[in-house]
Amino acid sequence: MAEPQRAAGGGIRIAGVSHTYRPPRGRAVLALDHVSLEAGDNEFLALLGPSGCGKSTMLYLIGGFLPIESGVIEVRGKRVTAPGPDRGVVFQHFALFPWKTVRENVLYGLEKQRLPKAERMERAMAFIEKVNLTGFEDAYPAQLSGGMKQRVAIARTLAMDPSVLLMDEPFGALDAQTRRLMQEELLGILARNTKTVVFVTHDVQEAVLLADRVAVMSARPGRIKEIVDVADVGGTADAIRDRRFVEKVDYLWNSVRGEALAAQKGV
Amino acid sequence: MTAFLWRYSPLFLIAAAWEIAPRSGMLDAALLPPFSEVMAAMARLIIDPGLYVHAAASLMREIAGLGLAVVVGVGLGIVMAWYAPVRILVNPLVRCIYPMPKSALIPVMIMWLGLGHLAKIGLIFMGCLLPVIVSSYNAARGVETVLIWSAQNAGASRREILTEIVLPASMPEILSGVRTALALSFVLLVSSEFLMAREGLGYMIAFLGEGGIYDAMFATVLLVSGIGFAADRAYLAFTRRALAWRA
């Protein structure tokens, strides 16, 4: 694969990134091996792969949470060296602050960005409304269902207005029905709110439904196996019955299947 | 109220046995005065201003020693979890001092700090410091990485992450460590006042015992137990309020 060229405006450029995972005990494991990848401005890119293929690690590297040991990651032409509010992150297990109410959770980042108080309040309420949680502003996370918690996390992230949205299996901890509803909701939110999105998942159907392109990752060490354009299918809740949608899902499932089997064997 | 009476009904049984045993001659009334006499002594104590001088001295030592231990212990525990140099320096000390019986320090404290308030405050501080350090340290080490990442992502500084994320996230475990310290502080208070004091509730117990005034001595023992119990209940109520977010 040719080295990707400069990403456009709000895009992400990943060039030759490797990452070695060093557990406190035991031997080092090569998690990512020379990954090069690009996400265009306002593109929705899904990272699809079996468990342990390093797709979450890739996301944490873009987020600036892990040190980039080799290779380069650029977001909007700026090299990533540390976490920053230009990249909003949604984690699988929500990562809400349990001692803060819904409103306080959404407000936290806005306070850190030193927005004027009136504007903070207004923005927080607007995003709580956008994720349909009006009436739960003063509830604590422990009082909410999994789906509601993830909606708070999405509101908290979107309220910061990041140019890039990084989502780490955000619906992976939810039951199947809630997951479907949340996928539809996310499509609705993003339709009004254009962002560059990198979305990590091991759910093929979810990837095709939501993404413009799907990058299939190999079992450990993670490499980009292939990139499939799915922009013309999915995008609405009804799309999943479409013949071309089903074909794309089948194609990707076959692609990822071998990797999942390899991962199961613990290669 | 009925539930409350039921829960504490064993205490009434003990009080009844306490009344009957010395009166019936099963126990020597000189060594264990009947419960009613102890209660009468308690009533005399409560209207005696002298009691409040002793109680105030004890309370002051207790609050100063425990308060200092909480402030220093939480700070040190969290900093230990967060900064490797501090951990490397302090952790071996904590591990060595933790299993040591703190009452063994009483002579040392007298030697260094004399017979006044400072020696008791020092002892309570030393004793309470360790459970607070250990619970704060464990709590701070166990804070979920994604919470810290979320705060970093929002633009929080290192100091803000410590005070706004690590501290509140550690609060449940810290508060349970402080409860252990609270119970320990009463033990250390009373035992240090037995051995080296001219005032305080522990001193009163020792003084009354040596003087053979057993009804008043038992009354003081009950009073100290009551204060300890009330402090623990009040602390639990405070904890429940502070951790209301756990739902």
Supply the CATH number for residue B159's domain: 1.10.3720.10
Stretch among A77-86, B110-119, B181-190, B215-224 having the lowest mean pLDDT: B110-119
Q: Could you tell me if residue B184 is inside a domain? A: yes
Is the bond preceding B92 in cis, omega lying within 30 degrees of 0? no
pLDDT of residue A10: 62
pLDDT of residue A9: 58
Report which secondary-structure segment, H or E, holds B219.
helix B214-242
Position B109 pLDDT exceeds 60: yes
pLDDT of residue A7: 41
Q: Could you tell me if residue B167 is inside a domain? A: yes
pLDDT of residue A243: 85
- CA nearest A140 in B: which residue? B245
Burial class (CB in 10 A: 0-12, 13-18, 19+), B86: middle
Position A267 pLDDT exceeds 60: no
Q: Does A21 reach chain B within 8 Å, measured CB to CB?
A: no
- Put simply, the chain A residues between 219 and 248 with a CB less than 8 A from any chain B CB are none
State the residue range of the domain holding B92.
55-246
Cα–Cα distance measured from residue A39 to residue A20, given in angstroms and rounded to the nearest whole number: 23
The DSSP letter of residue A222 is: B
Q: Could you tell me if residue B15 is inside a domain? A: no
Q: Does B171 reach chain A within 8 Å, measured CB to CB?
A: yes
Beta carbons within 8 Å of A206's beta carbon, 6+ residues apart: A46, A171, A179, A183
Q: For domain A12-86+162-264, give the fold.
A: Rossmann fold (3.40.50)
Cα–Cα distance measured from residue A255 to residue A75, given in angstroms and rounded to the nearest whole number: 28
List, for residues A202-246, the tens digit of each pLDDT value. 899 899 999 999 999 988 788 888 898 988 887 777 777 788 888
Q: What's the number of domains chain B is made of?
A: 1
**Beta carbons of A142 and B246 less than 8 Å apart:** yes
Q: What pTM did the predictor assign?
A: 0.85
Q: Could you tell me if residue B190 is inside a domain? A: yes
Q: Could you tell me if residue B71 is inside a domain? A: yes
Q: Are A85 and A109 in contact (CB under 8 A)?
A: yes
Q: Are A162 and A85 in contact (CB under 8 A)?
A: yes
Apex A156 CA angle, A154 and A159, nearest 5: 100
Q: Could you tell me if residue B39 is inside a domain? A: no
Q: Could you tell me if residue B5 is inside a domain? A: no
pLDDT of residue A257: 84
Residue of B153, B166, B245 to mutate for A, most A C-beta atoms under 10 A: B153
What mean pLDDT value characterizes chain A?
Answer: 87
- CA nearest A157 in B: which residue? B154
CA separation (Å) from A183 to A203, A209, A212, B13? 12, 8, 14, 63
Work out the pLDDT band at A6, boundaries 50, 70, 90. very low
Q: Does A172 reach chain B within 8 Å, measured CB to CB?
A: no
Burial class (CB in 10 A: 0-12, 13-18, 19+), B102: buried
Q: Are A222 and A55 in contact (CB under 8 A)?
A: yes
**Beta carbons of B160 and A112 less than 8 Å apart:** yes
Work out the pLDDT band at A198, boundaries 50, 70, 90. very high
Q: Does A89 reach chain B within 8 Å, measured CB to CB?
A: yes
**Beta carbons of B245 and A83 less than 8 Å apart:** no
Q: Could you tell me if residue B115 is inside a domain? A: yes
The DSSP letter of residue B164 is: I
Percentage of chain B exceeding pLDDT 90: 70
Ranges of each domain in chain A? 12-86+162-264
- Using DSSP's 3-state secondary structure scheme, residue A226 falls into strand
